[in-house]
Amino acid sequence: MNAIQPGSFSLADSRSAPSAARLRSVHDPFHGDLLEVSMGPHHPSTHGVFRMIATLDGETVVRLKPVFGYLHRNHEKLGENTSYLASMPYTDRLDYLASMTNNWAYALSVEKLAGLTVPERAEYLRIILAEMTRLLNHTCLAGFLLQDCGCSGTPLMYAFREREKILDLFESLSGSRMMCNYQRFGGCRVDASGAWLEAAKSLVAGYGQFLDEYEQLLTGNEILMARTQGIGLLSAELAVSAGVTGPMLRASGVAHDLRKVDGYGLYPRFNFRVPLGDHGDVYDRYMVRMLEMRESLSILQQALREIPSGPIMDPKAKLRGFRPKAGEAYGRIEGPKGEIGFFLISDGSPNPYRYRVRAPSFVNLTILEDLCLGHTVADAVIILGSIDIVLGEVDR
C-alpha cells in the first residue's frame, strides 16, 4: 500500500501503479475568474421553462438575469381576437394552479366595464372558491419550496394529497379539476348543491388538522430554518416600488391586502386578519403563507355558515351578443400570488379592443436579481421558489 503523499494522488489499489494524476494547486490561472452558468430552461428547480443566467464568483451569485417567454403564446392577442366570454376559459391557463381567482379577476373587470352587479349567493360562492384556491396554492407552494431545499418527496406528496381533495370539490362543481371556467360576468355558471356545501364544510373542518401536522413537520424544522432564514431579504421600500404584491409583500412587513384595501366582493363582511412578516426573508414568506391559510379557513367557515340562497346570475347580464359600451376598466383582486388585474378597453364591438393581464408572478420576478445577489446558487433556487411563479402567467 502506498501512503498518500501530500500533493499527489494515488489509488490505494495493489494492482495499479502509482497514479500520475496530481491535485491542482488552488492558485491556478483560472482562480478569481467569473463563471457564467445557465440554469434552465429545462431545470427542475425553475418550476417550468424558465432560465436564469447566473454569473458566479466561486459559488456566490454576482449577477443574475432571468430569461423567459418560452411559454409565450400572446394570450393578450388571443383575447383581442375573441369575444369577451370566449376569453374566460383562456384565463384558466394563466396561473393554472389558481383558475378560480383568474376567472374572478376577469369577471370583475368586465363587470366594472359593463356596470353589472353580482347576486349575493354568487359573491359567497366566489369567496368560497377563491379561498379554497388560496389554500391549495399555498399548500403546493410549501411543498415545492421544500422540494427546492432538497427535501425530496414527503412535503410535496403531503401537499398534493390535500390539494387533490380541493380539486375533487372543484371538479364536482365545475366539471374540471384545474381548468374550471366557472365564473361568468354577473355571477357564476352553476349553483352549488347542498351536498357540495356539506362536502366543503367537512373539508374545511379537517384542513386545520392537516396544517397542524404539516407545520409540526416543517415550521420548527432546524434544516428549513438554517436554509431559509436571512436568505433573500427584501426591504419594504423596494417591495412597494417594484410593485411586489401578495404574500411576498406582506412578508416584508407591508400591510397591503386587496381584500382589505379595495374591499371587493363581500370581503368587508368577513372577519379575518392579515399576517405580516418581520424580516422579508424566505422563511417569512413561507410563514406568512402558512398563517394566511389559517385565515382562509376562518373565512371559509364564515362563508359556508352564512351563504344565503337565491339567484347566482345578474338578470341584466347576457352571455350571447355581449357588447359593453365604449370605455375602459381596470379591475384587480388579491390572488394567491398577488394582485391579478385585467385592463380592458371596449370600442363597442363584441371583442375587447385591448385585453391586458397584469400577472402577479411576472411583476414579482422584477426583483429576482436583487434578492439573489451575494447568495449561493443553491439559495437562488429557493429564493425563486419563495417568489412563487407559474410560467403560464409569467409568459402569457
Partner 1 sequence: MDTLESIRDRLLAWFPGAQISLVANPSPSAQHSLLLDSVHGREIATRLRDDPALRFDTCSNVTGIDWPEKESVETVKIKVPGVAGAPDKEVEQKVKRIQPGMLEVVYHLYSVALRQGPLILRLRTGNRADAVTLPSLTPVWRSCEFQEREVFDLFGVIFEGHPDLRRILMWDEFKGHPMRKDYIEPDDYEWEPTPHNEVLAKAKKHYRTVAPVSAPAAEKGNAG
Give the interface with partner 1 as residue ranges (CB under 8 A): 68-69, 72, 74, 76-77, 112-115, 238, 240-245, 254, 256, 261, 324-332, 339, 341, 343, 345-346, 353-354, 356, 358, 362-363, 365-367, 395-396
Q: Least CB distance from residue 132 to partner 1, whole Å?
A: 26
Compare residues 204 and 340 and give the one whose CB is closer to partner 1: 340
Q: In whole angstroms, how far apart are CA 175 and each of 147, 155, 169, 198, 328?
A: 30, 28, 9, 18, 32
Compare residues 122 and 244 and give the one whose CB is closer to partner 1: 244
Compare residues 223 and 326 and give the one whose CB is closer to partner 1: 326
Query: Dihedral of CA 163/168/174/179: which sign?
Result: positive
Under a CB-based contact definition with an 8 Å cutoff, are residues 103 and 181 in contact? yes
Name the grid cell of 306: 352564512
Q: Least CB distance from residue 318 to partner 1, whole Å?
A: 16
Letter for the amino acid at 192?
A
Q: Least CB distance from residue 240 to partner 1, whole Å?
A: 5
Residue 1 contacts by C-beta under 8 Å, 6 or more apart in sequence? 12, 14
How far is it, in rounded angstroms, from Cα 259 to Cα 268? 8
- H or E element that contains 55: strand 51-57
Q: Least CB distance from residue 358 to partner 1, whole Å?
A: 4
Compare residues 223 and 261 and give the one whose CB is closer to partner 1: 261
Q: Least CB distance from residue 354 to partner 1, whole Å?
A: 5
- CA angle, residues 40, 44, 47, in degrees to nearest 5: 85
Compare residues 82 and 366 and give the one whose CB is closer to partner 1: 366
Compare residues 112 and 121 and give the one whose CB is closer to partner 1: 112
Compare residues 129 and 329 and give the one whose CB is closer to partner 1: 329
Closest listed residue to residue 343, CA positions, set 81, 109, 87, 167? 109
Q: Least CB distance from residue 333 to partner 1, whole Å?
A: 12
The total of other beta-carbon atoms located within 10 Å of residue 373's CB is 14
Residue 199 contacts by C-beta under 8 Å, 6 or more apart in sequence? 169, 172
Q: Least CB distance from residue 262 to partner 1, whole Å?
A: 9
Compare residues 298 and 366 and give the one whose CB is closer to partner 1: 366
Q: Least CB distance from residue 356 to partner 1, whole Å?
A: 4
Please return the burial class of 201, using the count of CB atoms within 10 Å of its CB with bins 0-12, 13-18 and 19+. Answer: middle
Residue 322 contacts by C-beta under 8 Å, 6 or more apart in sequence? 83, 84, 85, 114, 185, 350
Compare residues 142 and 254 and give the one whose CB is closer to partner 1: 254
Compare residues 9 and 353 and give the one whose CB is closer to partner 1: 353
Q: Least CB distance from residue 261 to partner 1, whole Å?
A: 5
Residue whose entry in the numeric block shows the C-alpha cell 337565491: 310
Q: What are phi and psi of 3, to 5 degrees?
A: -75, 145
How far is it, in rounded angstroms, from Cα 339 to Cα 254? 14
Under a CB-based contact definition with an 8 Å cutoff, are residues 139 and 159 in contact? yes
Q: Least CB distance from residue 6 to partner 1, whole Å?
A: 49
Name the grid cell of 77: 392577442
